[in-house]
Amino acid sequence: MEKENNFLCPECGGDKAYSVMEVSTVYDPDDPISGILEWISCEQCQNDIPAHIAERWNGLTTEQARQEWQDVYRTKSKR
């Protein structure tokens, strides 16, 4: 499934997604991953990126998205 809306991978800069995964989870305030309900996989580097970062929701800049990815999610991503 290709989703190109505003996708930009904060890891490699790729602009094509190959899948979108929606998950249901139990929220744990000590685990930032537990609050992510939609993941988008990058076609180029194969990383699973939280949708709010990959599509830069709520006015998130590219640099802010990259920083949040590196600081919070990168080491905890599913791949």
> How high is the pLDDT of residue 26?
84
Single pTM value for the model: 0.83
pLDDT in tens, 6-56: 899 999 999 999 999 988 778 888 888 888 999 999 999 999 999 999 999
Residue among 73, 75, 62 nearest 10 (CA): 62
Strands 48-50 and 38-42: antiparallel
Phi, psi for residue 49 in degrees, rounded to 5:
-115, 135
Domain ranges of the chain: 17-76
- Whether 4 has a pLDDT exceeding 70, the answer reads no
